[in-house]
Amino acid sequence: MVHSNYSISEAMLNDTTSISSVANSKWTLLSSRWQLDALTTILSVASFVGIIGNVLVCFVVSKFRFLGRPKAELFIASLAVADLMVCVCAQPLYIAFLRGVLPDRLNKIRKAITWISTLVSVNHLFAISIERFLSLYFLHRYTLFIPDYVIWSAVLVTWLVSMAFGASSATFRIARISSQYFVVTILVVIPILYTGTFYLVRFQRKRISKQVSTKKFSSSQRSFRRQRNILYMIVVVVGAFYLCFIPLVIVPFFFSIRVSTAVRLKALRAFPWINTLALCNSSLNPYLYYWRSYRFRLAMEFILRRLFEKKWELKTEISANQGKVRHE
């Protein structure tokens, strides 16, 4: 899940000569060499662990039903693809951008990838919040009311719309401003949806506790607990997204209100760090799934164990063959 670049802040700057000159100087923005080295190290590590984590998420979803709910898993796999795109492309390109070695054409590609992944992430989190609300509202009747093709269609539409608007936002100012307002609007709506969802959790808990039939109670309780656990995991993912993304929403307001030039310059210099924080969010999600989902943890450990076992067997076989060759 990523996010914009200097263009957001630069578009909001006043047309004063002093600030414009600062906006065009990456070294002034970064203040010193150690900041450039620190950001490069952070982004490099984030890219490496993010690629490993998101590839494993895609593999786990394809081989195991770790949530027990294919609809939620489809959204998570699609979100992992968007995060993987950030870790493979956006983070390394941002390093090149900060170091001043990124050609203009590649910089446009970086901006497009950044916007596409941002919109995909926000739209997926919005769709997941709706899906979680409906899953707790219908419980075991959920599969009857929300068929799989609806979820597949939602994922496909999300990607198509995000790609169209993301590519436009990298080039056209009006599209960029529209996308910014759209993102902010969705970020306001998502907490409202989760407030309603947590109210449903309380309501369903009380309703299930009043059921008399033991068999019906057991079925409803299992379904409720499963949906509730998925909800808690998704809330942690959404919370991490907000922590990484909110600074990128707040800081640009310093360029639209009346503050001193010194304050604006400080806000502008903070942008490389804020963008890096936002980019690193794409590397976090796999490890949040590992922390919050027992099933995902088991699936991940099973895959890693099998991987290392095969590697050890291959190494042993190679050593044995080398020994035979020496004897011959």
Q: Say how far apart CA 322 and CA 328 lie, in whole Å.
A: 10
- C-alpha distances (whole Å) from 204 to each of 14, 58, 170, 300 are 53, 32, 45, 31
More confident residue, 241 or 323: 241
Read off the pLDDT band of 18 (50, 70, 90).
Answer: very low
Assigned domain for 303 exists: no
Assigned domain for 309 exists: no
Q: Which residue has the tokens 């609806």?
A: 150
Q: Could you write out the DSSP letters of every residue in 93-119?
A: HHHHHHTT---HHHHHHHHHHHHHHHH
271-296: pLDDT as tens digits = 889 889 999 999 999 999 888 888 78
Assigned domain for 323 exists: no
Q: Say how far apart CA 20 and CA 22 lie, in whole Å.
A: 5
- C-alpha distances (whole Å) from 51 to each of 166, 261, 286, 296 are 22, 40, 10, 17
Assigned domain for 104 exists: yes
111-120: pLDDT as tens digits = 888 889 889 9
299: exposed, middle or buried (Cβ count in 10 Å: 0-12, 13-18, 19+): buried
Assigned domain for 302 exists: no
How many domains in the chain? 1
164-177: pLDDT as tens digits = 888 888 888 888 88
Centroid of chain to Cα 295: 20
Q: Is the pLDDT of residue 16 over 80?
A: no
55-98: pLDDT as tens digits = 999 888 887 765 555 677 888 889 999 999 999 999 999 999 98
Assigned domain for 301 exists: no
214: domain range?
Answer: 6-292
pTM: 0.76
Please provide the average confidence, as pLDDT, over all residues in the chain.
Answer: 77
Assigned domain for 85 exists: yes
Please report, for the domain that includes residue 67, its CATH number. 1.20.1070.10
Question: How many residues can be counted in the chain?
Answer: 328
Q: Is the pLDDT of residue 260 over 60?
A: yes
